[in-house]
Amino acid sequence: MPIRKIITTPHPVLRGKAKKVVIFDADLHQLIDDMIETMREAPGVGLASPQVNEPLSLFVAEFGDENDEEAPLQLYTFVNPKITKTSKETEVGVEGCLSIPGIVGDVIRPHSATIEGSDRDGNPIKMEAEGWLARIFQHETDHLHGVLFTDHALSVWEPEVDVGQVSSAD
């Protein structure tokens, strides 16, 4: 599985709307597998397909239990994802992005979110997420609509140390 090049701003694909996936075949599976390896190599906790110059409605994420650092990481794949519900409760968190290297920012997002879509085989999935996982899902879904975390950021800055793409960054 090859590592794909992560495109960075101001690449125009990052500002476009991703196309709906309609064919769930070996090519899609290869793209997903490549994205997982690319995300891990970067390293990041999420990666949307536009970030590897494939404007399809798809993202992968890998995250553990934010309250238990020893918990194993869980891998998520969402095809044609939609955030269908968010909490009124919000919180500020530091985000970064593999497509905007060297910048992090404070972003306010809903504390919880319900996401619906399909798995890699086209089967419907629905999940409720809270905390950082909800933040990751919202961040990655934004990528599919041409929205970057800097569009939401209350403030942005260059971190003093290499933080490996801070917190919920992809």
Active-site residue, selected from the candidate residues 54, 62, 95, 140: 140
Please identify which residue in the block is written with the tokens 């933080």: 163
DSSP 92-108: EEEEE-TTSTT-EEEEE
Counting every residue written for the chain, the total comes to 170
Task: Report d(CA 81, CA 63) in Å as an integer.
Answer: 17
- How far is CA 168 from each of CA 26, 47, 123, rounded to the nearest angstrom? 29, 11, 26
Cα torsion through 169, 43, 100, 154, rounded to 10: 20
- How far is CA 71 from each of CA 17, 64, 92, 147, rounded to the nearest angstrom? 35, 6, 24, 31
Q: 91 an active-site residue?
A: no
As annotated, the active-site residues are: 140
